[in-house]
Amino acid sequence: MSSFERLSRALCVMALLAAQALLAQGPQPILQGGVVVPLYPAGSKKLNQERIDEPETLNMTNGVPGRIASIVNIHNPTIEVHTVPSNLNTGTAVIVVAGGGHRTLNVGSEGADFVPFFYNYGVNTIILRNRLRSDGYEPFVDGVSDAMQAIRAVRTRAKEWNIDPNRIGIIGFSAGAELSSSADVEYVQFDRENQDPDDPYAKVSSRPDFVGIIYPGPTPFAPNRTAPEIPADPPPAFLATAGSGDRVHAIWADEFFSAMLARGVPNLEMHVYGHGAHPGGQLPDGTRMSGGLTDRKGLPFGTWQFRMIDWMRDLGFLGAPGVETRAARDVAEFVRNPPPPPGQRNSPRPAR
């Protein structure tokens, strides 16, 4: 055995031992430096108390010692907080919700990879570990609850983490985008129905200040779901997906966009890329489409994250902390003067 082979084997053993140690200690950071915070208090009726002590299963990335690719067996949902230094901090935070078809949580490419990316723009990153259908949970109940509770948790502890409570967004990918799109429109109902006196976050709003919906699964406006009432103060949303190469997810994205556009929600933006596929989907050359931040072999679809940064900057989320965002002003104007349904005109305003 060569010295290189011995080193490779030693690194693999070390990674395995480290993973086993993490399992024994409970939820640990996916990325070094993260602070892991449970979403619910011990004994919460939201949790399956019979399984709460089961360790998470970490699936490691082949060929990259110590890198976690995905997680399953999540019974104690958490957020993992990664803050930026005060000299870079915009006060904006993004809760990242990974995809995985509700079978697994792809916290590597659709989670940890975004920490250094958003760091470059002064944005704090929070990785959500939500419960999965494969572990016996209902995504549109338990998963959505985890996403909404994550927003509450970050807002409650915003001062502690140097986060502006009015600059908290959420971005989801594929199955995770089902949760982020639900967070965009279901916060009024969630806050009304979740007032457990033992929950330290119960009195705090779960409304996100902005939402990212990336190659989504079925949103609340899919035909097989009962469309919710759009709230009076809906946050702005950014959507991105491949188009004809990923028709199913593009249609789900369009259903959400069209419903919100018909309501006149301000600052909606959607990018549908002509060439591309859903992560894992087969390309014409026989290879598989990658996800997350990857450049997708140089396709324009591989630049969606920079279009989202442009959108965030335009709305004021990358500006100086403590300053009201344009997004907030536009929502306030929407509340004061909601647009009429399509095909109708606003009544003339009385002369001053």
Does residue 150 lie in a domain region? yes
CATH number for position 46: 3.40.50.1820
Could you give the CA distance from residue 68 to residue 125 in angstroms, rounded to a whole number?
17
User: 167 near 92, Cβ under 8 Å?
Assistant: yes
Does residue 122 lie in a domain region? yes
Backbone φ and ψ for 325, nearest 5 degrees, come out as -80, 160
User: 198 near 160, Cβ under 8 Å?
Assistant: no
User: 71 near 117, Cβ under 8 Å?
Assistant: no
pLDDT at 2: 52
pLDDT at 217: 98
Does residue 40 lie in a domain region? yes
pLDDT at 222: 97
| 214-253 tens-digit pLDDT | 999 999 999 999 999 999 999 999 999 999 999 999 999 9
Write down the H helix ranges in the chain: 3-25, 114-119, 144-156, 175-185, 187-193, 247-263, 304-314, 326-336
pLDDT at 83: 98
| 72-99 tens-digit pLDDT | 999 999 999 999 999 999 999 999 999 9
Does residue 346 lie in a domain region? no
pLDDT at 259: 98
User: 136 near 142, Cβ under 8 Å?
Assistant: no
Element (H, E) at 253: helix 247-263
Supply the DSSP symbol for 278. Answer: -
pLDDT at 22: 42
Does residue 351 lie in a domain region? no
Does residue 347 lie in a domain region? no
Cα angle value 92/310/217 (rounded, 5°):
80
pLDDT at 260: 98
Could you give the CA distance from residue 290 to residue 301 in angstroms, rounded to a whole number?
11
pLDDT at 346: 56
CA end-to-end distance (rounded Å), the chain? 88
pLDDT of the chain, 352 residues: tens digit per residue: 554 444 445 444 344 444 444 444 568 899 999 999 999 998 999 999 999 999 999 999 888 888 999 999 999 999 999 999 999 999 999 999 999 999 999 999 999 999 999 999 999 999 999 999 999 999 999 999 999 999 999 999 999 999 999 999 999 999 999 999 999 999 999 999 999 999 999 999 999 999 999 999 999 999 999 999 999 999 999 999 999 999 999 999 999 999 999 999 999 999 999 988 898 887 777 777 788 888 787 889 999 999 999 999 999 999 999 999 999 999 999 999 999 887 766 555 444 4
- Beta-bridge mates of residue 241: 272
Does residue 349 lie in a domain region? no
Task: Show the domain range for 325.
Answer: 3-336
Q: Is the dihedral of CA 226, 170, 250, 175 positive or negative?
A: negative
Q: How many domains does the chain have?
A: 1
CB atoms within 10 A of CB 314: 14
Mean pLDDT for all residues in the chain: 90
pLDDT at 141: 97
pLDDT at 26: 61
CA distances from 275 to 243, 279, 328 (A): 7, 13, 34
Using only C-alpha atoms, the chain has a radius of gyration, in whole angstroms, of 21
Does residue 55 lie in a domain region? yes
User: 32 near 68, Cβ under 8 Å?
Assistant: no
Q: Are strands 210-214 and 237-242 parallel, antiparallel or unpaired?
A: parallel
